[in-house]
C-alpha cells in the first residue's frame, strides 16, 4: 500500500518542520538575551499554534476519511 499525501497533509508537514526550526531559533534567542518566559509574552504563538492545530486536524481527518 503506497501512501498518497494530500496537499493539506504536505502543507502540514512543512508547517510543522518550519515551526520546529522557528521554536529552536526562539529558544536560542531567549537564552542568548537572558530573557525569561515569565517576562516576555510570545505573541507569535497566538498566530502559529491555531494554524498548526487546524492543519493537523484537517490532515488527520483526511487520513481517516480515506480509510
Q: Is the pTM of this model over 0.85?
A: no
| Tens of pLDDT, residue by residue, the chain (67 residues) | 677 889 999 999 999 999 999 999 988 888 888 776 655 677 888 899 999 999 999 999 999 987 6
DSSP strand E in 6-65: where?
none
pLDDT recorded at residue 14: 98
* pLDDT of res. 66: 75
In this prediction, residue 29 carries a pLDDT of 85
As a whole number of angstroms, the distance between CA 62 and CA 57 comes to 9
pLDDT, residue 55, reads 97
Q: Would you list the domain boundaries of the chain?
A: 7-66
Return the sign of the alpha-carbon dihedral for residues 51, 5, 14, 20.
positive
Amino acid at each position: 500500500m503506497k501512501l498518497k499525501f494530500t496537499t493539506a497533509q504536505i502543507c502540514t508537514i512543512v508547517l510543522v518542520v518550519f515551526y520546529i526550526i522557528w521554536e529552536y531559533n526562539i529558544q536560542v534567542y531567549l537564552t542568548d538575551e537572558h530573557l525569561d518566559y515569565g517576562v516576555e509574552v510570545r505573541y507569535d504563538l497566538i498566530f502559529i499554534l491555531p494554524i498548526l492545530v487546524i492543519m493537523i486536524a484537517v490532515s488527520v481527518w483526511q487520513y481517516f476519511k480515506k480509510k
